[in-house]
Structure 1
Amino acid sequence: MLKHNLGYPRIGIRRELKKACEAYWSNKIDSNALFEVGKKIRMENWKTQENADLDLIPCNDFSFYDHVLDMSLLLGVISESYLSIPIIHNNIDLYFSMARGFQKNEWDIKAMEMTKWFNTNYHYIVPEFDKNQKFSIFSNKIFDELEESKKILKSYKKIKPVFIGPISYLFLGKEKEKSFNRMDLVENIIPIYIKIIKKLKNEGVNWIQLDEPILVLDMSEKEKEVFKYAYDEISKFCSGINIMLTSYFDGISENISLFQNISVKALHIDLVEDSDQLEKILSFFSRESKMILSLGLIDGRNIWKNNYLNSIQKIEKAIEFIGEDRIMIAPNCSLLHVPIDLEYEHSIHIDIKNRMSFAKQKIYELNDLEKIVKGNKSILSINSSVFCDHKIKERVKNITITDKDVQRDNHFYIRQKKQKEKFHLPLFPTTTIGSFPQTKEIRNLRNKFRKKELSQEEYDNKIKNFIVDVIKKQEEIDLDVLVHGEFERTDMVEYFSEKLKGILSTDNGWVQSYGSRCVKPPVIYGDVDRLDNMTVEWICFAQSQTKKLMKGMLTGPVTILQWSFVRNDQPISHTAYQIAWSIRKEVLSLEKSGIQIIQIDEPALREGLPLKKKNWKSYFDWSIKAFRISSSGVKDETQIHTHMCYSEFNDIFEYIADMDADVITMETSRSKMELLKAFSVFSYPNEIGPGVYDIHSPRIPTIKEIFYLIEKASKKLPIKNIWVNPDCGLKTRKWKEVLISLHNMTKAAKMARLKLKK
């Protein structure tokens, strides 16, 4: 029984990669210094996994920005617009220009589209394909890191290069023009995959891992057809090397027949997200396959310890069906989605910490499982005591939710009329999503306060100065609806976790969201409740500093849930409702204090959607209900906004409409308003702000391009319902670029009022 890992976090225990990348982008270090940081992180990761006695250790799971973008560079899927920039002389700058855009002198090239990685909060750079797309081995990263790992690891036989499989890679991309199906590119891409595999084999590699998460989706007949073709070809030309296909984030029962007559060495399945699939998979393996089965037993997306008894039962069942020599054990997915090391947490109560496990601890859990299988039952007893001490309490009761709890007093068209009479906003009203740049000065201020070098009063006064300043900036830009900037908040979820009962924040529990953007998800360990006001004082202070409308800024229940590590001892819907009632209390308190516009952000609504459509209804039943609990207690005249970003929304607009927010703001700038296609078949009833300014890139949008996006939106939506806004918060941007970009945005909106008025 072999133990292996699918991938390890790449940011470094102290977010060294984030700091190095941002220093490189600011010209504070050169590429050699950047590469040295990457090399050190890789070395530490390999050593950690070797010390945990893993039999196979992933290589090429490191990335300076995104592993899907790495794959595009490896395969030469690079737009001519990036290759044509004459002042880019190396691959790393080419790579970063694809991820972040390039704006220098006369060169102004936008970043590539970015979206969520399946149902996670990780974002990937979307590959773009031409009809006659050519593929080639462009980047040597995978081979260079292989050579590097040989020098670090004691046995090169443990090295397992990891990269995305051909069908998932094509699926994750998009066609530049609609005259072809990207799956038709399979005949072009497979010869390059075969070259890569053969080259790895010639370098002495024994195992490679091809990630094919498409296997957990509702695959079309076309996708199934090209999958069979791809692996028939790879099997034909790549004998002598052990290929493992990995699936994760759900089960593959519906697609298991694809593995008939495919001669890959191993298949990995996710038994955390879908434990029910095991019996069907084992039945297939015992009848029709000689493959090794890798059992994904350790939860790579949550921070709770593994229940060894449950895992051992699955292992023993697999051994009974197909024998121990055909079993491997691993986490269910890459450990990219969890923090690195629990040993760096010093503030968590010991009773809770004893139930937790981060990436480093999770790979040691594989060791424990192997020892238990070999007869060490004392480990099982110790582990079982953790779960016996923390059983869900019998007192948990059903939450009664009435129709009145989830409905506004009147239909939107009545509310809209009242709000327009009250607010007197112009056509194409302008606003931002909430946060403004969190500068070094603000971070230092927060750090001093944490170290008790500032009193509460001193800290609050300095935050108020930042709020006053940002209000003046917004008034100078002439935005219509203002925000207070969120300077008192470290993160849109973490901030609320520190105010709500039943949630805790970690000291160093960082995970990568995209590129250098890292987040520190809170831990929901108990019953959630709001004990006092969380935002009211700050928002009311901000409103007192301006005559313009000030938005109250809250994070919604589904997003707090999705962007936290959630307790797994009760239904997730139950936890969602607890959070929703807490947010509702804050909404009503804001309204009572005179705040007339309240934004309840739900960027994670799409992210939490089950990957299989058969499970959508049950998810939307509780998630939409949770949002409506939080938002439905206000008067008609109070305008409720929500915000969503970086996900595919076209297929769920009917559910988004069911949220019944007065205004929704969404990401559309990177995708060039592709979202608007949905309105050809679905008439969205409420107001909407399709984001016109891509904040995930440092480039500054022009007035002309913003006006073009507004004009494009006005052809699909009633102009009285269109808002003009960035596609997300401005927290990660620099003031210089933000001010120019927002000036351009307001000028474009004013131009639209003159030219597009009907």
Structure 2
Amino acid sequence: MMSTSTIGFPRTGPKREAKKALEAYWAAGAANGPQLLAAAADIEAAAWRRQAEAGVELTGLDGTLYDQMLDAVFQLGLLPPRFQALKASAEPSPADGPYAGGGGLDLYFKLARGAEGAPALDMSKYMDTNYHIIVPELCHDTAPCADWSPLLDRVRRGQDAVGVASAVPIVVGPCTLVGLARGEFDRSEMVARLAPAYAQLLRDLAALGVPEVQFHEPFLTKSSAEGLAADCAACYGQLAAAGVPINLVVPYDDVAEGTYRWLIELPVAAISLDFCGVPVHSSGADYGCRTAQLIAKYSFPKDKRLGAGVIDGRGCWADASGRALRLLRALRATLGADQAICVQTSTSLQHLPYDLASEPELPSGLPAPLAFAVQKVEEVVTVARAASAATDGAAPAEPHIDLSTYTGAPPPAECQLDEALFRRAEPYEGRRPKQVALPPFPTTTIGSFPQTPAIRRHRLAFKQGRLSLDAYRERMAAEIGFAIGAQEALGLDVLVHGEPERTDMVEYFGQQLSGFHFTQHGWVQSYGSRYTRPPIIVGDITRTGPMTVHEYEVAQGLTSKPVKGMLTGPVTILQWSFARNDVPRAEQAAQLALALRDEVKDLAAAGCRVLQVDEPALREGLPLKADRQPAYLRWAVDAFRLATAAAPPEVQVVTHLCYSDFDDIMPAIHAMDADVLTIENSRSGDEMIHALAASGYTRDVGPGVYDVHSPLVPSVEWLADKLRSYLQAGLLGGDASRIHVNPDCGLKTRRWEEVLPSLRNMVAAAQQLRAELVGPGRPPATPRKPASPVESRSAGGVASACPCCAL
């Protein structure tokens, strides 16, 4: 009999109860702590019982108030110096529950959302997913001061819900925490420094009688992990001495061959591997998942249980072909009947909607049946039972899988296009003088403005048929008029229409393209209280008509200043949708690019002179393995160029990238051939500025000058100092005419009370720098002392997710 386990489940609740509880806490303040903790406990217990009732034997005790990496940082006491003072002055109360010992709930959330004088920890995409983690910030002096009370409390509640023998704690592993952290420190030394704190946790868990502990180490799937053998051996050797069985969970990709050889020698009780791997970027022997091949070549130790992640944890498609069952049978035939195998999903199910049963309507003619998190758990149990029945003597009827060649990749598909379609009519040097003339430090925004309650009411009325199309367009035209008037009053140089008509930057386009299906309740957590509702690609993608031209014409008709046309790029639409699993992603991206290309032509014909095509997911989609990255970057860049090359030379093409470490994709950014690059930069300590300057990037750049995820309003002096720092870093040779001034992302989830003073200060800072310039692009002779980053805190503000990424 094969056993079953889960390694993560949506933390949202079936009806987004977690979001509502968290936002209620932020609105009411610390006094609402008990209500938040009680709501989270109910949501978690219901999820754990749901998994156990489906027949899962070992239930992973997933749960968080905000983000699992933030939980690890908080419980290990890994506070950057700017938060140490906040902890020292904190006054935790019984309302903070198990969070009191670490500094209280208020400190926990300040790490993620910031406070006056203490900017929030950075945020980044997790591995190659659309989920965001709070990034640990470490330095040479960082030392843990652990208080594991929140996790221990979760374990006790989990034992009450599903029983002591079934409740399995989930912990972010030390190698992943350190590997994904930022700062100046020695990685090996830091892992060793954290090991005693983790060992104490294991001793505490042993006292609770847990059957095992899951240590999640997805960082080990990266190419760079091959050099971590000594670190992992020393750390897990120390942890094994605590006497609690460890299940080392390595999701989100296969591991490199060199990593696999030392991974299976670690002193752990179980190793859980991903047999589904990366979303398919191309086809052929070098793509798909190679875990099965590694087992065929090097076997698997008999003294360890194999966690077989054969059910896709982040794709919404059911395993209608029986691939998982055939793979399990092949594993059993290769490893023998005495090999302990536990069937599970390839990754946490947090990347999927909660339950397909919540969907009132499903389209016909799907490439395969759908399966959300609840259904994936049921698949795990069903497949395990079927595989066990085969072991007990039932004859398999399905074709045999050869592990030595298995990858799971779909068949190749050809998409031949004329090379001329990927090139602008003129090179950058020739077209830039023809584009819109702007002053030094030109000011703009990234695209969206607040989605007010009135806008949402109008959209709902239109959706329900209570508002005609003409009436709805009138309402949206009024909102556009307000946005244009506000920007002109603020003195911005390049305007946007504000996107009042868009629910989000993917769904809006998908609703106007063939080949997409949209769920009613298919919400997925981006982080914290911010959720997305990814569309599902169910067929070939084509444009059915103009998508954005009407709104552009309304906005441009209200001003003599240039208004941007606003599109979401093909890679981002693909990455933030549930893609087909029967067609390579490269082909799906090309279909999206061709549809967007037609829109680019229509916007140019309507007089658009500045066109923004956002690709915030470009870096997110980069495969974790270095050998897979060149092919992905080729087709991703090709898709962007295919979409934008139709723009005439006089049209300035802008792209926006966010939450990105650019060092390993800098050549691809150059190859995109955009005229202006705007980036998320405010939380990264100007790392991206230095990377762009060091790479010799030659196109205009708009670094994000302030953090849209925080309700804090930046002061004029702080913003002016930011702009001076760009000049002093040598960005674009200090040419102020080519350094654009903008927030770090869209403003959709902020409030107008926060947006207007922030933009007013941003424009004032740009004007101040223009006045200070001694010559073109030259900084003032004497840099000023850095100012405070905060002018004021908006009352009742709720920190928001990147509007590119979440609702």
- Could you tell me the TM-score, scaled by structure 2's length? 0.88
The 2-side partners of 1:308 and 1:141 are apart by: 41
Bigger mean CA deviation after superposition, 134-143 or 479-488: 134-143
Structure 1 residues 202 and 353, CA gap change in structure 2 (3 angstroms): farther
- Tell me which residue corresponds to 2:748: 731
Bigger mean CA deviation after superposition, 706-715 or 204-213: 706-715
The 1-side partners of 2:606 and 2:91 are apart by: 54
Q: SS of the counterpart of 2:309?
A: strand
- Tell me which residue corresponds to 1:387: none
What is the CA distance between 1:344 and its match in structure 2? 1.0
Pick from 53, 56, 59: which aligns with 1:54? Answer: 56
Pick from 264, 267, 271: which aligns with 2:271? Answer: 267
Bigger mean CA deviation after superposition, 436-445 or 333-342: 436-445
- Tell me which residue corresponds to 2:306: 293
Q: SS of the counterpart of 1:398?
A: coil
* Structure 1 contact 308–380 (Cα < 8 Å) conserved: no
- 1:198 and 2:203 matched: yes
Q: How does 1:568-583 map to 2 (within 5 A)?
A: 568-583=581-596
- Tell me which residue corresponds to 1:109: 118
- 1:364 and 2:381 matched: no
- 1:162 and 2:176 matched: no
The 1-side partners of 2:266 and 2:532 are apart by: 40
- Tell me which residue corresponds to 2:344: 330
What is the CA distance between 1:742 and its match in structure 2? 0.8
Structure 1 residues 314 and 381, CA gap change in structure 2 (3 angstroms): closer
What is the CA distance between 1:604 and its match in structure 2? 0.4
Identity, in percent, stands at 36
What is the CA distance between 1:749 and its match in structure 2? 1.0
Structure 1 residues 319 and 220, CA gap change in structure 2 (3 angstroms): closer
- Tell me which residue corresponds to 2:432: 416
What is the CA distance between 1:259 and its match in structure 2? 2.9
The 2-side partners of 1:591 and 1:697 are apart by: 35
Pick from 143, 149, 158: which aligns with 1:140? Answer: 149
Q: Flag structure 2 segments of 5+ consecutive residues without an equivalent.
A: 97-103, 278-287, 401-408, 779-807
- Tell me which residue corresponds to 1:752: 769
Tell me the amino acid that sits aligned with residue 624 of structure 1: V
* Structure 2 contact 90–107 (Cα < 8 Å) conserved: no
What is the CA distance between 1:174 and its match in structure 2? 1.5
Q: SS of the counterpart of 1:661?
A: coil
- Post-superposition CA distance 1:635-693 (Å, at most 9, x none): 11001111010121122111101000111100111012111221353111211111111
- Post-superposition CA distance 1:56-105 (Å, at most 9, x none): 1011x2111110000001111113432423366352111111101124xx
The 1-side partners of 2:289 and 2:717 are apart by: 53
Tell me the amino acid that sits aligned with residue 167 of structure 1: C
* Structure 1 contact 673–709 (Cα < 8 Å) conserved: no
What is the CA distance between 1:36 and its match in structure 2? 2.1
- Tell me which residue corresponds to 2:132: 123
* Structure 1 contact 528–579 (Cα < 8 Å) conserved: yes
Tell me the amino acid that sits aligned with residue 17 of structure 1: A
- 1:184 and 2:193 matched: no
Tell me the amino acid that sits aligned with residue 407 of structure 1: R
Tell me the amino acid that sits aligned with residue 195 of structure 1: Q
Tell me the amino acid that sits aligned with residue 12 of structure 1: G
Q: How does 1:70-89 map to 2 (within 5 A)?
A: 70-85=71-86, 86=89, 89=92
Tell me the amino acid that sits aligned with residue 527 of structure 1: D
* Structure 2 contact 128–620 (Cα < 8 Å) conserved: yes
- Post-superposition CA distance 1:412-432 (Å, at most 9, x none): 12111111xxx2210111111
The 1-side partners of 2:457 and 2:424 are apart by: 43
Pick from 241, 247, 251: which aligns with 1:244? Answer: 247
Tell me the amino acid that sits aligned with residue 278 of structure 1: A
What is the CA distance between 1:354 and its match in structure 2? 6.4
The 2-side partners of 1:492 and 1:563 are apart by: 10
Q: How does 1:714-729 map to 2 (within 5 A)?
A: 714-715=727-728, 716-718=730-732, 719=735, 720-729=737-746
The 2-side partners of 1:477 and 1:578 are apart by: 39
Q: SS of the counterpart of 1:528?
A: strand
* Structure 1 contact 110–699 (Cα < 8 Å) conserved: no
The 2-side partners of 1:303 and 1:740 are apart by: 42
Q: How does 1:201-240 map to 2 (within 5 A)?
A: 201-219=206-224, 223-235=228-240, 237-239=241-243
The 1-side partners of 2:399 and 2:509 are apart by: 32
The 2-side partners of 1:382 and 1:752 are apart by: 70
What is the CA distance between 1:168 and its match in structure 2? 0.8
Q: SS of the counterpart of 1:246?
A: strand
The 2-side partners of 1:42 and 1:425 are apart by: 53
What is the CA distance between 1:577 and its match in structure 2? 0.4
Structure 1 residues 379 and 598, CA gap change in structure 2 (3 angstroms): farther
- Tell me which residue corresponds to 1:388: none
What is the CA distance between 1:516 and its match in structure 2? 1.2
Runs of 4+ more than 4 Å apart: 376-384
- Tell me which residue corresponds to 1:664: 677
- Tell me which residue corresponds to 1:487: 500
* Structure 1 contact 368–379 (Cα < 8 Å) conserved: no
- Post-superposition CA distance 1:254-304 (Å, at most 9, x none): 301223542201101111015332132354344x55211111111111100
What is the CA distance between 1:231 and its match in structure 2? 1.4
The 1-side partners of 2:190 and 2:636 are apart by: 38
The 2-side partners of 1:222 and 1:319 are apart by: 31
Q: How does 1:416-455 map to 2 (within 5 A)?
A: 416-419=432-435, 423-455=436-468
* Structure 2 contact 363–517 (Cα < 8 Å) conserved: no
* Structure 2 contact 410–581 (Cα < 8 Å) conserved: no
Structure 1 residues 668 and 4, CA gap change in structure 2 (3 angstroms): same
The 1-side partners of 2:655 and 2:13 are apart by: 34
What is the CA distance between 1:397 and its match in structure 2? 7.0
Q: SS of the counterpart of 1:128?
A: coil
The 2-side partners of 1:432 and 1:160 are apart by: 46
Structure 1 residues 233 and 393, CA gap change in structure 2 (3 angstroms): closer
The 2-side partners of 1:243 and 1:608 are apart by: 31
Tell me the amino acid that sits aligned with residue 74 of structure 1: Q
What is the CA distance between 1:381 and its match in structure 2? 9.1
* Structure 2 contact 367–582 (Cα < 8 Å) conserved: no
The 1-side partners of 2:535 and 2:603 are apart by: 24
The 2-side partners of 1:393 and 1:511 are apart by: 26
Tell me the amino acid that sits aligned with residue 219 of structure 2: I
Tell me the amino acid that sits aligned with residue 189 of structure 1: L
Tell me the amino acid that sits aligned with residue 423 of structure 2: Q
Q: Flag structure 1 segments of 5+ consecutive residues without an equivalent.
A: 385-391
- Tell me which residue corresponds to 2:291: 277
Structure 1 residues 383 and 138, CA gap change in structure 2 (3 angstroms): farther
Structure 1 residues 378 and 744, CA gap change in structure 2 (3 angstroms): farther
The 2-side partners of 1:292 and 1:441 are apart by: 56
The 1-side partners of 2:673 and 2:632 are apart by: 17
Structure 1 residues 378 and 460, CA gap change in structure 2 (3 angstroms): farther
Tell me the amino acid that sits aligned with residue 40 of structure 1: D
- Could you tell me the TM-score, scaled by structure 1's length? 0.93
* Structure 1 contact 669–694 (Cα < 8 Å) conserved: yes
Structure 1 residues 614 and 261, CA gap change in structure 2 (3 angstroms): closer
Structure 1 residues 220 and 503, CA gap change in structure 2 (3 angstroms): closer
- Post-superposition CA distance 1:152-186 (Å, at most 9, x none): 22x221111001111111111112xx3x3233212
Tell me the amino acid that sits aligned with residue 467 of structure 2: L
The 2-side partners of 1:514 and 1:752 are apart by: 36
Bigger mean CA deviation after superposition, 180-189 or 489-498: 180-189
Q: SS of the counterpart of 1:256?
A: helix
* Structure 1 contact 307–383 (Cα < 8 Å) conserved: no
The 1-side partners of 2:189 and 2:215 are apart by: 20
Q: SS of the counterpart of 2:415?
A: coil
Q: SS of the counterpart of 2:74?
A: helix
* Structure 1 contact 171–183 (Cα < 8 Å) conserved: no
Question: How many aligned residue pairs are there?
Answer: 735
